[in-house]
Amino acid sequence: MQRYKCTITYDGSQFSGYQIQPGMRTIQGEIEAALSKLHKGERIKISASGRTDAGVHAKGQVIHFDSALAIPTAKWEIALNSVLPDDIAVIRVEKAAPNFHARFDAVGKEYRYFVYLSPKRDPFKRHYAYQFPYPLDYVAMKEALKYLIGTHDFTSFCSAKTEIEDKVRTIEEIEFFEEGDLLVFRFVGNGFLYNMVRILTGTLLEVGSGNRSPYSIPDILEKKDRQYAGKTAPAHGLYLWKVFY
Amino acid sequence: MQRYKCTITYDGSQFSGYQIQPGMRTIQGEIEAALSKLHKGERIKISASGRTDAGVHAKGQVIHFDSALAIPTAKWEIALNSVLPDDIAVIRVEKAAPNFHARFDAVGKEYRYFVYLSPKRDPFKRHYAYQFPYPLDYVAMKEALKYLIGTHDFTSFCSAKTEIEDKVRTIEEIEFFEEGDLLVFRFVGNGFLYNMVRILTGTLLEVGSGNRSPYSIPDILEKKDRQYAGKTAPAHGLYLWKVFY
């Protein structure tokens, strides 16, 4: 038996999220079905660095699985891609130690959030960036970042649905830059709570459009209450970009 | 009654092409349904600069239609977009002369064809660029262009299914350039025959990959027979970019 660490990318637009659910098309479901095909019907369970919601994309999600198949490491990528649907692709397969765990060994993650700044409707962006065609005050947004970067209790920036107790996380970097008619937010941290990147993005857009002061951020953090932060930005602008080990 | 010239963009991946067909989802069908909604159920016929096949995209397709609705020109774009599905968008509406015709008045068109050069499978490009991960000899391809640009009988570069008699067309420009991991072909001409851009692209890729000499192009043109040219490149890499009037 060999454990494999496998980096995957997917277009989340046609999936009901990562986690397997009966009767739904999910990332986990499709990958486990693909592995099962390679293993003559045997069920192979995979574990990911974390779940992604319906509509959320991944450029560098990481999963692990165990296999007894005698496929050379270099051929795993080709073998898996040949049985995966075309909206999921394996981009790297590596041998891993028997105790490697995609979720528990992750020490950080990078997410990106894409905002489409133009008022022109663009069918090619409908699943891939959130259209927000309002003037943005980048100076105010940069001011807000100062209060978000660092170690904080992010209860206010986390879906109230979460069961996790400890909501202290460290955000190492948040930056944003324009790429043509897109505004790209980049978040790097040791871990992100449920909906955290989308709530951070929604709040930063409210700061940028003048509906919220950058100086309100410390208050929001202090309240430890979801209702004080901004709206949750839509799923389709979000990309799990990279997982660090 | 007012005639309108309307520039539209669409992601062709979820359509059975432009032309209306019973029981199929088509660009023409969706736009006519949208116009019908605005006109209280009245059927409004549209005419386009030309058809596009299933999977082919448009960044600047042009249509015309007549309407007696008292919508100011500046509001037509908003009105139409509010009733169109999100994979078609209106990007410009202008008043036109009563005898303006989107097809017969077009004096030229620009198409672009996107080739994805990397061997890595990319789910985000599956509907939007043709993956061709083989080395390309750009010098040979540029040599081939010399024989294609200009006025020629393009029978060999046209689907044998065509009924049009006169297959003489003028290509004013063909060029190609890299954009990241994409190779973009740009074709400008006074008119293009059925499948012509896709057959030109397929042939140029065969020249680039060494399977065909650039010096064979004059022979291919001379034969006036579809079987002498290269393969038809797939629909999903093709974009109707602009129509000239």
CB B242 within 8 A of CB B92: no
- Per-residue pLDDT band for B165 (boundaries 50, 70, 90) equals confident
Cβ-based contacts of A89 with chain B (< 8 Å): 120-123
Asked whether residue B118 falls in the same domain as residue B237, the answer is yes
The CA distance from A96 to A3, in Å, is 5
Predicted pLDDT of residue B52: 96
Predicted pLDDT of residue A130: 98
Binding residue per annotation — A111? yes
Domain end marker among A39, A67, A96:
A96
Asked whether residue A115 falls in the same domain as residue A235, the answer is yes
Asked whether residue B112 falls in the same domain as residue B91, the answer is no
Mutate to test the interface with A, among B14, B120, B239 (most CBs of A within 10 A): B120
Asked whether residue B45 falls in the same domain as residue B125, the answer is no
Domain containing residue B115: CATH number = 3.30.70.660
CB B102 within 8 A of CB B8: no
Predicted pLDDT of residue A92: 97
Radius of gyration of chain A (CA): 19
Q: What single-letter amino acid sits at A59?
A: K
Asked whether residue A138 falls in the same domain as residue A91, the answer is no
The CA distance from A225 to A159, in Å, is 10
User: Averaged over B94-105, what is the pLDDT?
Assistant: 98
Per-residue pLDDT at B162 exceeds 80 = no
Asked whether residue B114 falls in the same domain as residue B71, the answer is no
Could you tell me where the DSSP H helices lie in B84-174? Answer: 138-148
Domain end marker among B56, B74, B96:
B96
- Per-residue pLDDT band for B163 (boundaries 50, 70, 90) equals confident
Predicted pLDDT of residue A195: 96
- Taking only the tens place, the pLDDT of each residue in A207-243 is 999 999 999 999 999 999 999 999 999 999 999 999 9
The verdict on A11 touching B (C-beta cutoff 8 Å) is yes
Per-residue pLDDT at B140 exceeds 80 = yes
Q: Would A207 be classed as within a structural domain?
A: yes
Asked whether residue A70 falls in the same domain as residue A143, the answer is no
Of residues A207, A200, A211, the one with CA closest to residue A140:
A207
Chain B nearest-CA distance from A81, in A, is: 8
The CA distance from B156 to B174, in Å, is 17
Asked whether residue A114 falls in the same domain as residue A227, the answer is yes
Q: Do B11 and A128 touch (CB under 8 A)?
A: no
Q: Do B91 and A121 touch (CB under 8 A)?
A: yes
Asked whether residue A72 falls in the same domain as residue A123, the answer is no
The verdict on B181 touching A (C-beta cutoff 8 Å) is no
Chain A nearest-CA distance from B225, in A, is: 35
The verdict on A79 touching B (C-beta cutoff 8 Å) is no
Per-residue pLDDT at A162 exceeds 80 = no
User: Averaged over B69-77, what is the pLDDT?
Assistant: 94
Q: What dihedral do alpha carbons B202, B206, B208, B213 form, nearest 10°?
A: -130
Is A53 annotated in the active site? yes
User: Averaged over A131-153, what is the pLDDT?
Assistant: 98
ipTM value of the model?
0.93
What's the domain range around A115? 108-244
Asked whether residue A82 falls in the same domain as residue A203, the answer is no
CB B136 within 8 A of CB B185: no
Per-residue pLDDT at A163 exceeds 90 = no
Domain end marker among B40, B73, B96:
B96
Q: Would B102 be classed as within a structural domain?
A: no
Per-residue pLDDT at A165 exceeds 90 = no
User: Averaged over B91-110, what is the pLDDT?
Assistant: 97
Of residues B69, B23, B16, B10, the one with CA closest to residue B42:
B69
Asked whether residue B124 falls in the same domain as residue B232, the answer is yes
Predicted pLDDT of residue B4: 98
Q: What is the phi/psi pair of residue B164, to 5°?
A: -60, 135
Domain containing residue A37: CATH number = 3.30.70.580
The CA distance from A89 to A78, in Å, is 10
Q: Would B35 be classed as within a structural domain?
A: yes
Q: Would A36 be classed as within a structural domain?
A: yes
Q: Would B101 be classed as within a structural domain?
A: no
The number of distinct structural domains making up chain B is 2
Nearest CA in chain B to A124: B11
Of residues A169, A173, A184, A180, the one with CA closest to residue A221:
A169
Asked whether residue A31 falls in the same domain as residue A139, the answer is no
Predicted pLDDT of residue A106: 98
How deeply is A61 buried, as exposed, middle or buried, from its count of CB atoms within 10 A (0-12, 13-18, 19+)?
A: buried
- Taking only the tens place, the pLDDT of each residue in A78-116 is 999 999 999 999 999 999 999 999 999 999 999 999 999
Share of chain B above pLDDT 90, in %: 97
Q: Would A102 be classed as within a structural domain?
A: no
The CA distance from A241 to A191, in Å, is 13
Average pLDDT of chain B, as a whole number: 97
The CA distance from B177 to B173, in Å, is 13
Per-residue pLDDT at B59 exceeds 90 = yes
